[in-house]
Chain A
Amino acid sequence: MKKLFGLFFFIFGLTCISAQEIDSDLLKIKSRMDAINEFSAELQLDLDAAFINMPTKYASMHYTKGKDTKFSSDDFVVLPKRGLDFAFSELFEHPFITVDRGIETKNNKQVKVLNVIPTDNKSDMALATLYLDVKNERIAASEITTKKNGTYALEMEYPDLEAILPNQVQVSFAIEKLKIPLNFMGSDTDIDRKTMRQMDTKTGKITLLISNYIIN
C-alpha cells in the first residue's frame, strides 16, 4: 500500500514537473486555441515555386476540433499537408516539453522563440520551433520538423491585434527529386540534366489568404 501511494505521488510529481516544463506564454496561447471548437473559412491559395506555375486557386475549409479538416473546391487545388493546421491542434495533440530560446526580432516584431519537443513516440513531429507574439498571445511563425515529411515553415499574419486565427499564412516547403516522365514532356523541351541534378531538392511557398471566418 505504501509503495503504491509512493508510486502515485511519484507519477503525480512527474506530471507536475512536466506541466511546469511547458512555457506559460505558450499555455496561454494554447488555451485560446483550445477554445475554438469549430470554424469555417474561405481560402485563396497562391503557389510560388520555381518549378511550378499555378494560377490563384480558391477553396473553402471547415475545421472541427478532434476531426480531420475538410476542404472543398470547384477547382483543382493543391493544399499543403502541413500548413493548414493554424489552430495548431496537431502540435498540441501529444504531450511535449518546451525549451526557451530567448527573444528574437522576426518581421519587425519581437518574438519569443521556443523549441517544442514531443515526449510521446506517437507524435509525427520530431521538433518544432515556435515564434510567439507574446504581446498579442498568438503564434507569429513556426518551423516544424516532421519525422517523415520534411520541414515546414509557417508565417502567420493577423487582421487585428485581437485575432487568434490568421488572415494570411505563408507555408514554405521543400520537395525532393521531382520526377518527370519523359514522354510527357514537350518534344522540343531541352533537358538540362546538369541543372536538374543540382536542383534535386526544390523549394517553394504557398500563400493562403483566409477570409470570411465563421467561428463557433
Chain B
Amino acid sequence: MLKATQLSKTYKSGKALDNASIHLNSGQISGLLGRNGAGKTTLFKILCGLITPDAGKVSIASKKQKPIGAVIEEPGLYTYLNAYDNLKVFSQIQGAPTDITTLENCLKEVGLPLNRKDPVRNFSMGMKQRLGIAIALLNNPDILILDEPFSGLDPTGVASLSKLIKQLANRKIAILLSSHLMAELHKVCDDLYIIDNGKIINQGLTQDIIDSQVTIYTITGKNIENSDFIQSYIVQKEKNKVTIKCDSEAISEILKSLLDDRFKVTSCVPNITLEQLLNPVSK
C-alpha cells in the first residue's frame, strides 16, 4: 500500500533521517520504535507530505482523494469548537459527508460520546487522541499513521486505544504507529521497525524481533516463586511473580514444566527494553 525508499532529511541541527525505507500493507499494523529524537516524527511528516525529503521517494498505491490519515505529535484541534463541529469543519473542507448520521458514526467509531457539546479544550488527553483519530479517518483513507498515540494515556486508555487500532486494521487499513515504549507496541503491532539516529537498524515481524533479543521474562501465577524448577532461572522474586532469565527458545519448556508441576500461570511477559533492541546481540 505504501512504499518509502531511502528517505533522507537533514536540518541545520543535523541529519534527522538517513536512508530510511519502510513499507506498509493493508490490514497490517506496523510499529516504529525509537528513542525521542530518533527521527520517527520526521519520517511520518515525510510520508504524509508535510515536509519534503532531501532524498528518497514515497509511493502510495491508493486512488483515494485522501490516501493517508494521520495524527502527528499532538492532535491539532479547534479547541473552541466541540467534537462534532471539529469533525464537521475537517469534513467540509475536503468535500466529505457532513450529515449528522455520518459524523455521529465517526464519533461512535472512536468511542467518543455523542452528547458532549462542550468545547474540546475541556477534553482529556485520551479523548483528544480519539478525536484526532476520528479526524484522521475522515474521507476513508487507506493508510493511518499515528505518532506516539499512547503518550499521556493511562493503562486503561492504552488498552482501549489498542483495541480500537486492531478494529481499524480489520477494515483493511494499513496502520503505522510509533512509540518509544516497547510494551505498548509489541501487543498491537504485527511487524516492527527499529529506528536510531535517523537509520532503520532493524525490522521484521514483532515476534521474531522479540524472540531474537529477549532474555528476561516475567511470569505471574499463584505461589510461582516456590517452584523448584524455576529457581535456577530466577533473577527477582516477589509474591506470586518471578522475573527469570532465559531466551525465547527456553521459555516454552519452562512454561511446560511449570504447568506440569500444577502451577497456575496467569501471565508470561517478555521484558524487552528499547536499549536491547537498539543494541542487538546476535545469537
In the complex, A touching B (Cβ < 8 A): no
Residues on A lying within 8 angstroms of B by beta carbon are none
